[in-house]
Amino acid sequence: MLILFAILGWMNSLAPGRDHMENALAITRVVLEEPPLFRDDESKMKTGAYLVAVAFRESSLKNDAVGDNGRARCLFQLWATSDAVRTDPELCARIALTRLRESARICGASNMLGIYASGPKGCSSETAKRISRDRLALSSKLAKSAPKIPADVPDDESEGDGQ
């Protein structure tokens, strides 16, 4: 559960003095259950850092956040969702990851958040490109601070009595 430790640490550093456990657990479950967003992300730390960066910029890591005149909801300020996402951070994170993946697929690496941030015309939006650069820079900074497993510590599969 190193990824949970990292996500919780990042959240605490970005928004100190609050209990982030529920949201950190929700993001961790989604990150562990879904394929990574990035090709070179076997540990999924980059994906986790990206989700935390987006959630921080969108809602200051508050799952009950409502913005854009009531149209944007939850950690990731999702549009076109039910109000249920405000009480279910895992549902919020799962929908966000799906939308982020689709936005990156359509707009490409230079504007990963294009459609996510600015709608159907977002791939060519300069505002969306600026938002993408900001979220990627923050997620890169977070990922570089991720805890590392020392080489002499066995992983979960090699622990125990071999059963």
| Distance separating alpha carbons of residues 72 and 64, to the nearest angstrom | 10
Q: Is residue 44 part of a domain?
A: yes
DSSP letter assigned to residue 78: B
pLDDT by position in tens, the chain (length 163): 799 999 999 999 999 999 999 999 999 999 999 999 999 999 999 999 999 999 999 999 999 999 888 889 999 999 998 889 989 999 999 999 999 999 999 999 889 989 998 888 889 999 999 999 999 999 999 999 987 766 555 555 444 444 4
Q: Is residue 107 part of a domain?
A: no
Q: Helix, strand or coil for residue 35?
A: coil
- What lies within 8 Å, CB to CB, of 50 at 6+ separation is 37, 38, 100, 135, 136, 139
Q: Is residue 108 part of a domain?
A: no
Phi, psi of 78 (to 5 degrees): -80, 140
Q: Is residue 12 part of a domain?
A: yes
> What are the C-alpha distances in Å from 121 to residues 10, 98, 112, 115?
32, 18, 13, 7
Q: Is residue 95 part of a domain?
A: yes
Q: Is residue 123 part of a domain?
A: no
Task: Provide the domain count of the chain.
Answer: 1
User: Would you state the pLDDT for residue 110?
Assistant: 83
- E-strand stretches of the chain: 66-67, 72-73
Q: Is residue 33 part of a domain?
A: yes
Q: Is residue 138 part of a domain?
A: yes
Residue-range definition of the domain harbouring residue 88: 2-102+131-147
Check: CB of residue 118 under 8 Å from CB of residue 111: no
